[in-house]
Amino acid sequence: MNVLGIESSCDETSVAIISDDKLVANLISSQDFHEKYGGVVPELSSRAHLQILLPLVKKALAGANISSDQIDLVCATAGPGLIGALLVGLSFAKGFAYSAKKIFIPVNHIEGHIYSGFLMNDKPEFPYLCLVVSGGHTLLLLVESDTEIKKLGTTIDDAAGEAFDKISKLLGFGYPGGPKIQEAALNQRTDYKDFPIAQCKNEYDFSFSGLKTSVLRFIQKEYGEASKIPADHLQLIAASFQYSAVRALTTKVEKALQNYDVSSISLVGGVAANKMLREEFQKLSVRYNKKMVVPSLEFCGDNGAMIAYRGLRLHQNGIKYGFDFNAFPSLADHTFIR
Ligand SMILES: Nc1ncnc2c1ncn2[C@@H]1O[C@H](COP(=O)(O)OP(=O)(O)OP(=O)(O)O)[C@@H](O)[C@H]1O
Ligand SMILES: [Mg+2]
C-alpha cells in the first residue's frame, strides 16, 4: 500500500510517502520569509503553500519512484491550523483522491504529532504517556491505542512553543523563538533568576503566562527595558527562562509517571527539539524505568510523514471519511482525544 501524506497547517509545506509501511519520502519546505514579520502571516502562508505544494508532490513521487496512480491512500491535515493554509493541502488531497478514485483520509495535525514516535525504529508501546509541546498546543496525554487518547492536562493559557516565541521576541532574538532561546542559553548557568512555575487547579495542567509576565517584570525592574539588557545578561535570562519552562513541563510528566502505569513515554511536537527538555525527559525515563521515544528532529516540527502514518493507521482501523469532510480550526472539532 502506498500512502501520500500532506501537511500545510502553518508555515511548513510537507509531502511524505509511506510505501508498504516504509517511509520513502518526507520533503519539508519551510516558509522562512515570515521571520521579518515576527510571526506567521496567514495570507502569505496560504499563497506559499499553493505555490510549492504541487512541485513538492511531484518531487516526492519522483524521488520515491512511485507514479501518482500507484498511490492508494491520500491523507492531509484537516486541522487544527490556519484555515486558509489547511484548505490548500486538504483541497489538493480531495481533488487528487476524487479524480483518481483513491481513498481520502483527513488527519488531525495534533494526532499526527501524538503518534509521530511510531516513525522511529524503536516505537512507543501502549499505553504511553505523551507530552505534546508545539507552537499552539501543550498536552499531557495517556495514549491507550490508535483510537483511545485520554487528556490528563493541557495549558490554561499559552502553549509552550508560544512562550518560547514570546520571550524570544521580548529579548530581541526574533522568530521562531525556541531555537534562538536554546542557542542563547547554551552553556549558561540556569540560576541567574529563579522564575516561578505556576500551580494549576488540575495537577496535570500547565500555565506559561505567569512565567512570561515574571520575565517581563524582572526586565523592567532590573534594566528598565529589554533594549538596555547587556548581551551576556540576555543569555543568562534566556537560560533561566528555558530552565523554568522545561521544569514546568517535566514536573507534570513526573507526577503522571507516579500515578499511571505506562509502558513508554513520548515527547513530541516542535518544542520536543529542545535539547534541555530532551535531556530532562531522558532522566525521567531512566528514573522511572520506562522506554522513551522522542522522534528525531525532522519528525518533531511539522512534517508530512506523521500525517501519512496517522492516516494509514486510521485506515487500518477501518475508519472512513467522505469528501464532504471540511477543514477545522480548533483541536476539539474532530479528535479522538477524550
Ligand atoms: N529547540 C527548540 N526549543 C524550544 N522550542 C522550539 C525549538 N525548536 C522549535 N521550537 C518551537 O516549536 C514551535 C513550532 O512547533 P510546531 O511546528 O510543532 O508548532 P505548530 O505546528 O506551529 O503548532 P501546532 O502543532 O500546535 O499546530 C515554535 O513555537 C518553536 O519556537
Ligand atoms: Mg505542529
Per-residue pLDDT tens over the stretch 8-18: 999 999 999 99
Domain ranges, ordered by start, for the chain: 2-114+299-333, 123-294
Nearest atom of ligand 1 to the alpha carbon of 269: 18
CATH code linked to domain 123-294: 3.30.420.40
Instruction: Report, as an integer, the average pLDDT of 188-206.
Output: 96
Phi, psi angle pair for 122, to nearest 5°: -90, 110
Confidence band for 223, pLDDT divided at 50, 70 and 90 = very high
Task: Among 164, 250, 267, name the best residue to mutate to test ligand 1's pocket (greatest count of ligand atoms within 8 A of Cβ).
Answer: 164
What pLDDT, on the 0 to 100 scale, is given for residue 40?
87
CB–CB of 267/98 below 8 Å? Answer: no
Query: Looking at the chain, which runs of residues are DSSP E strands?
Result: 2-7, 12-19, 22-30, 73-79, 103-108, 128-133, 138-143, 149-154, 264-268, 291-293
Q: What is the pLDDT of residue 175?
A: 86
311's grid cell: 492516516
- Residue 42, Cα to own-chain centre: how many angstroms? 18
Give the residues across from 141 on adjacent strands: 130, 151
Å from CA of 6 to ligand 2 middle: 13
Residue 333 CA to ligand 2 centre (angstroms): 16
305-335 tens-digit pLDDT: 999 999 999 999 999 999 999 999 999 999 9
DSSP 151-187: EEEEBSSS-HHHHHHHHHHHHT--SSHHHHHHHHHTT
Residue 141: CB atoms within 10 Å: 25
Residue nearest to atom 22 of ligand 1 (CA): 135
* Amino acid 25: pLDDT: 98
> Which atom, in ligand 1's list, is nearest to the CA of 302?
17
2-114+299-333 with 123-294: one CATH topology? Answer: yes
CA distance 255 to 303: 30
Ligand 2 centre and the CA of 77: distance in Å?
A: 10
Ligand 1 in reach of 7 Cβ (< 6 A): no
The pLDDT of residue 200 is above 90: yes
88-92: average pLDDT = 98
At 169 the pLDDT is 95
Quick one: pLDDT band at residue 206, thresholds 50, 70, 90? very high
User: How far is the C-alpha of 95 from the C-alpha of 89, rounded, in Å?
Assistant: 10
Which distant-in-sequence residues (6+ apart) come within 8 Å of 161 by Cβ? 133, 134, 135, 136, 176, 177, 178, 269, 270, 271
CA–CA dist 231, 227 (Å, integer): 10
* Nearest ligand 1 atom to alpha carbon 175: 31
User: What percent of the chain is modeled with pLDDT above 90?
Assistant: 96
Q: Whose CA is nearest to atom 6 of ligand 1?
A: 178
Choose the weakest-confidence range: 40-44, 217-221, 309-313. Answer: 40-44
- Rounded to whole angstroms, the Cα distance separating 137 from 27 reads 24
pLDDT averaged over every residue in the chain: 97
Ligand 1, pocket-test mutation among 45, 271, 331, 335, most atoms within 8 A of CB: 271
**Cα(149) to centroid(ligand 2), Å:** 18
Residue with the nearest Cα to atom 18 of ligand 1?
270
Give 137-181 pLDDT, tens digit per residue: 999 999 999 999 999 999 999 999 999 999 999 999 998 899 999
Rounded to the nearest angstrom, the distance between the alpha carbon of 133 and the centre of ligand 2 is 9
User: Which residue's CA lies nearest to atom 7 of ligand 1?
Assistant: 178
- Cα-only R_g, the chain: 20
**Whose atoms come closest to the Cα of 267: which ligand?**
1
Query: What pLDDT score does 236 carry?
Result: 98
In degrees, to the nearest 5, what angle opens at C-alpha 277 toward C-alphas 271 and 282?
A: 130
- What separation in Å is there between the alpha carbon of 9 and the centre of ligand 2? 8
38: left (phi over 0), alpha (psi -120 to 50) or beta: left
- Any idea what the Cα angle at residue 98 is, between residues 97 and 104, rounded to 5°? 45
The response to whether residue 112 sits with its C-beta less than 6 Å from ligand 1 reads: no
- pLDDT on residue 39: 82
Query: The cell 518531487 sits on which residue?
Result: 59
Q: Residue 35's pLDDT band (boundaries 50, 70, 90)? A: confident
Q: Is 296 helix (H, G, I), strand (E, B) or coil?
A: coil
The finding on whether 134 has its CB within 6 A of some atom of ligand 1 is yes
d(CA 338, CA 332): 9
The predicted pLDDT at position 288 comes to 98
Q: In the predicted model, what is the mean pLDDT of residues 99-104?
A: 98
**Is residue 37's pLDDT more than 90?**
no
Q: Which CATH class is domain 2-114+299-333?
A: alpha beta
